[in-house]
Every structure is written in C-alpha cells, then in structure tokens.
C-alpha cells in the first residue's frame, strides 16, 4: 500500500476517534498535500499555509532557544487549527470546532503525528524522531548568538531637535 493511502487511513481513524474534528491534513514541509480528509476546506491552500506556519514556528523556537518545533495551535472564534510535527518531512494539521477539548486534541494530534512519521519513515527510510525542517531552515548561529536566519533588530535613534543659531545680538 502506498504511503499516501496509509496516511489517509490514519486521518480517517483520527476523525473517528475525535468527532469534534472538522478536517485533517497531512502535508510535506514544502506545502504539498500527502493526504486529506477535509470536506469544507481547500486542501492545497491549507497545505501551503501549513508550510508557511511551520517555517515561522520553526524560526520562533529556534530564535528563542526553545528546542525543536513540536506543535502550533491557533484559536479562532469558530474553533481551532492545530499543527503537529510528523517527522522531518511532514506535518499534520487538524481543524476542530470550538467545543473540542484542547487537551484531547493535543493527545490525538501528537499520537497521529508520530504514527504518520513512522509510516513515512518506513516508506522513505527517514529517521522518525527527527523534527520537521522546512527547506532552507537556518541552524548555525553567528558569533553574537543570533540565528543566521533571523532578521537583525534595528532600534531607531531617538529624535533630538537640532539647535539652531542663537538669536540675539
């Protein structure tokens, strides 16, 4: 069985275990859909946004020295969008309604992300424990300890009025 079919089966099982899920998507770190179970959302668009969010999340944890990226949770008025690492080459994004138990969402998302990582590792001979790494993600630090991929911080100079020539005579 192809890895995409196995990942799709995992997404179906996940949605069966957690009825508050309104969609599930597995995507590559480059934003390509691996498998999806999302009746009301365009999967290609969400896969691309997931890759972008992964890149931002990865840089945030890297820049703040919080270790490797694990997950990202966004809450909107109508529910949740949760993204979980699924090995070094994939991510899992789940959509849940606003009644979802966030603890259960994390439990199921982490479990499914790990299972998807195993499925992909078997088919592609990748280490399943490696964190996702967006293409071109920086890792080395400069001498100042700042990540090479981070933008420099510029603090604007304070405005100081210039003194003109003294009036008088």
Encode pLDDT of 51-84 as tens digits.
Answer: 999 999 989 999 999 998 899 999 999 999 999 9
Angle between the 102-124 and 3-17 helix axes, to the nearest 10 degrees? 170
**pTM given for the model:** 0.73
- The answer to whether 44 and 34 are in contact (CB under 8 A) is no
User: pLDDT value at position 40?
Assistant: 85
Token reading at 83? 């993204």
Give CA–CA dist 31/8, Å, rounded: 17
User: pLDDT value at position 138?
Assistant: 43
* Lowest-confidence pick of 14-23, 45-54, 109-118, 149-158: 149-158
User: pLDDT value at position 94?
Assistant: 98
Give CA–CA dist 162/111, Å, rounded: 63
In this structure, is the dihedral angle defined by the CA atoms of residues 59, 100, 75 and 32, taken in order, positive or negative?
positive
Confidence of residue 117 (pLDDT cuts 50, 70, 90): very high
- The answer, yes or no, to whether residue 35 has pLDDT greater than 50, is yes
- The answer, yes or no, to whether residue 3 has pLDDT greater than 60, is yes
- The answer to whether 108 and 138 are in contact (CB under 8 A) is no
Q: Where are the chain's structural domains?
A: 3-124
User: pLDDT value at position 151?
Assistant: 45
The domain covering 3-124 belongs, at the CATH homologous superfamily level, to Dynein light chain 2a, cytoplasmic (3.30.450.30)
Over residues 127-152, mean pLDDT: 48
User: pLDDT value at position 18?
Assistant: 96
DSSP summary character for residue 166: P
- The answer to whether 74 and 57 are in contact (CB under 8 A) is no
Secondary structure (3-state) at 144: coil
């Amino acid at each position: 069985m192809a890895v995409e079919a196995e990942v799709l089966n995992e997404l179906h099982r996940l949605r069966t275990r957690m009825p508050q899920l309104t969609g599930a998507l597995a995507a590559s770190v480059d934003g390509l859909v691996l498998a999806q179970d999302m009746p009301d959302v365009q999967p290609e668009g969400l896969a691309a946004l997931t890759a972008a969010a992964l890149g931002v999340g990865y840089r945030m944890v890297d820049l703040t020295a919080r270790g490797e990226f694990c997950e990202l949770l966004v809450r909107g008025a109508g529910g949740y969008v949760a993204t979980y690492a699924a090995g070094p080459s994939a991510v899992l994004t789940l959509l849940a309604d606003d009644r979802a138990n966030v603890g259960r969402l994390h439990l199921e998302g982490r479990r499914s992300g790990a299972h998807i990582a195993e499925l992909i590792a078997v088919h592609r001979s990748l280490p399943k424990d490696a964190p996702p790494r967006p293409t071109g993600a920086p890792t080395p630090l400069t001498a100042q300890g700042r990540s090479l991929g981070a933008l420099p911080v510029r603090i604007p100079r304070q405005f100081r009025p210039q003194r003109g020539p003294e009036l008088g005579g």
